[in-house]
Chains A and B, each alone.
Chain A
């Protein structure tokens, strides 16, 4: 080998209660390469990187940097060895400025302990210039775009003179175009001699940027391969351990009357910023309408307005032909016939401390047979739950099991069971497969198609383009609170991607 690796991991093992997150993993990183770490959710990628960044301590194994063995007991040690990390959830403080965020923990000080804001600003500008970034050091982080926030994270590492950069799922929050820009930045960092570990579960990106690819599966490293000569299918097989179904089989839709009609809807968010700005759409019985868009373009507020969790500022929503009052609470929406699979099942969809029976009664606890005249009948709740647990094949517990004790996939089955069993006319599914493993994703997808064929109107909101493309009968793209275009399910990811950043406005159908 020409050059010794800048970073070497040998036999890294990390055990969490009940799971072996990393099982004797070996990995090496060469100077000036982009090394991709590929694996499903829960494969152990993040654990490994947290070990490398000094946030976890490994049970076994050793790390060496530039040939010297090192032990990290905190992030500080890793930083000292020139390792920088861009976390999936940015480690930025929204109310502080860009400069404050970058210098935090290694501040330039003037007289004694007084913080030298001028020097901080100057240093930030200087590094940004060196690597060709555009940032305003005085902007507050909460006011800049997600793509810019990511650049601030990279600057944070560069400010600390990192020469090894770890990026944890960096494209999850970006548009395809922003992702392309990021790749440009990574290539120029590479040219400067930086080494990059790029964590992802998206095959196409990995093939686009990586020099070498290591695949993790269930805590073990399967293999490390050079980019040349691998195919998407081959990588997918390595990742999952079997052939994956990339598309959902579904019969053509037989469409009926419109069940959900939204006209010129405007919605504000918690900070009174207009997030939905004049959305009109119709979802008809027996079709899945997909809404694509980058996170934060008003999808969440749209869903909340449709399900009565947020009051709209103007516009109308009609369910099954009946126009709902503007202040309709979630109760009124539920009674009118909407079901809702919320985007965050643990915060919204379930009361984790409740039993499955109590969770299944979450909408109808106040109606017979669950209760009469305010009296609750716990036994009837349990009977109802027992039936659904059987019908929907929920595993890991019975009616009196705490919802929090179930795995993510089974939790989602409980949510789906509850929503579908109420026989809603309109089903709103927001990010229905987020954080699920492949098996559970397949289940949810099949179920949504079944419900469509039962004649429900399904509004699907997802950040995953693949999911939108494979499930939807029609696709709307949302950008900055407006619908910027309608596409058939045969549209390409590139078309949608362009529309998602507002470039496809003229395409509106």
Chain B
């Protein structure tokens, strides 16, 4: 048997023209094989450390800041030793965290699903907003419908609106080759300004208060029921179960259906997929539409679950869809990872909000920007495979070196 070097797996020297694998999905996958669960953990730790340096450098105490933020998230509810009034407070805080986690899971999935098809959906924000607009329209106008039907209709149409918004980018990519990154960014801004027009002063969907740019309010029949906490105090609504269900749907579609097989094949290698008889264009469109569906659903969750109306400043300030990018990247575009990423950012978001953060410890306005900084650092490091791999290998080398003298 002739065993030339090339016959051994991975033994061939790198060819002179070794390019990185073609698509982003393939690159990500290559990295995931190396770092395991460690890479996202390192990423998070490094991001929080760097955030702490910013806090420290501007004359605040990072430790007490982080502790105050943590207490604001309500995650201490999970500790059995927290009791009495603290526990009541923690429960209320945790409800808020989970309320934020709900749309983040969905916008995270919106980014992750497109990623798995080799596309970068930065348009989660726009898809989320059009979903929210439709949820407001349906939720506030068809009040004669029975509760469950009204809720279902509002959620379904919001998801559909998101699917259309995402589908536009997919359609343009499939037919004209327009890069989805550019088109989804543009669609975000179009969605923002259209909302500004809809609900702005003298806009067609402005609510009864003609001096404020606020939409109509959702009817009671369309509100998602609260199952934990006081509905009057913004308790936790059932949308969290819809989000958890979406995680299952995401996993099942990807791993147990032919649609998912096609999505993954296109994501890893479009030309091989086409060779396999898969229509790459159809999949670009379909994956973006499914992505948009998740994001549109996220918009419905927020509107029907706790916001009930939208003002134009809120539209401009919203960033749930953008955080979805960080959620999906940190969660490595998997179902479980997206859940954990959404919980982390939901907690950060709530922990740094004006309502939750003790302003005597740290100014919430600073803190909400700190969230953005941490978010930026997470995305920065999560894209840097070499850095993570480098740290990982350095760690191994250190371990080897420390073992050598002993052996």
Interface residues of A (CB under 8 A from B): 16-21, 40-42, 44, 46-47, 50, 55, 87-89, 218-219, 240-242, 307, 309, 329-331, 334-335, 340, 342, 347-354, 358, 361-363, 365-366, 371, 374-376, 378, 396-397, 405-410, 437-440
| CB <8 Å contact, B7 and A347 | no
Given the complex of chains A and B, what is the CA–CA distance between A351 and B10 in angstroms?
A: 16
Given the complex of chains A and B, what is the CA–CA distance between A340 and B274 in angstroms?
A: 12
Given the complex of chains A and B, what is the CA–CA distance between A46 and B18 in angstroms?
A: 13
* Chain B hits for A342, CB < 8 A: 275
* Chain A hits for B265, CB < 8 A: 351, 354, 358, 362
| CB <8 Å contact, A349 and B261 | no
Question: What's the nearest-Cβ distance from chain B to residue A450, in Å?
Answer: 21
Q: Which of A20, A87, A374, A396 contacts B9 (CB 8 A)?
A: A396
The verdict on B272 contacting chain A, using a C-beta distance below 8 Å, is: yes
Question: What's the nearest-Cβ distance from chain A to residue B236, in Å?
Answer: 34
Question: What's the nearest-Cβ distance from chain A to residue B270, in Å?
Answer: 10
| Known interface pairs A89-B17, A352-B26, A408-B6; A378-B272 also in contact (CB < 8 Å) | no
Q: Which of B68-76, B181-189, B251-259, B375-383 contacts A (4 or more CB under 8 A)?
A: B251-259
| Known interface pairs A16-B14, A376-B258; A352-B268 also in contact (CB < 8 Å) | yes
The verdict on B57 contacting chain A, using a C-beta distance below 8 Å, is: no
Question: What's the nearest-Cβ distance from chain A to residue B35, in Å?
Answer: 16
* Chain A hits for B405, CB < 8 A: none
| CB <8 Å contact, A18 and B275 | no
| CB <8 Å contact, A350 and B272 | yes
Question: What's the nearest-Cβ distance from chain B to residue A461, in Å?
Answer: 15
| CB <8 Å contact, B261 and A218 | no
| CB <8 Å contact, B277 and A218 | no
* Chain B hits for A376, CB < 8 A: 255-258, 260-261
User: Which residue, of B1, B25, B257, B276, has the highest number of chain A Cβ atoms within 10 A?
Assistant: B276
| CB <8 Å contact, B17 and A366 | no
Q: Which of B13, B259, B264, B272 contacts A42 (CB 8 A)?
A: B13
Q: A19-B13, A352-B26, A408-B12 are in contact. List 4 more A-B contacts (CB 8 A).
A: A18-B11, A353-B26, A362-B275, A365-B261
| CB <8 Å contact, A347 and B269 | yes
Given the complex of chains A and B, what is the CA–CA distance between A366 and B276 in angstroms?
A: 11
The verdict on B16 contacting chain A, using a C-beta distance below 8 Å, is: yes
| CB <8 Å contact, A21 and B13 | yes
The verdict on B360 contacting chain A, using a C-beta distance below 8 Å, is: no
Can you list 6 pairs linking A and B with CB atoms under 8 Å apart?
A347-B271, A351-B264, A351-B269, A352-B21, A362-B276, A408-B12
Given the complex of chains A and B, what is the CA–CA distance between A371 and B244 in angstroms?
A: 26
Given the complex of chains A and B, what is the CA–CA distance between A352 and B19 in angstroms?
A: 14
| Known interface pairs A354-B264, A374-B257, A374-B258; A348-B271 also in contact (CB < 8 Å) | yes
| Known interface pairs A18-B11, A19-B11, A405-B10; A351-B279 also in contact (CB < 8 Å) | no
| CB <8 Å contact, A18 and B279 | no
Task: Look across to chain A and name the residue whose beta carbon is closest to the beta carbon of B265.
Answer: A351
Given the complex of chains A and B, what is the CA–CA distance between A88 and B17 in angstroms?
A: 10
Question: What's the nearest-Cβ distance from chain B to residue A444, in Å?
Answer: 14
Given the complex of chains A and B, what is the CA–CA distance between A397 and B30 in angstroms?
A: 18
| Known interface pairs A363-B277, A408-B12; A347-B22 also in contact (CB < 8 Å) | yes
Question: What's the nearest-Cβ distance from chain B to residue A23, in Å?
Answer: 11
* Chain A hits for B261, CB < 8 A: 358, 361, 365, 371, 376
Given the complex of chains A and B, what is the CA–CA distance between A229 and B256 in angstroms?
A: 65
Given the complex of chains A and B, what is the CA–CA distance between A352 and B271 in angstroms?
A: 12
* Chain A hits for B258, CB < 8 A: 365-366, 371, 374-376
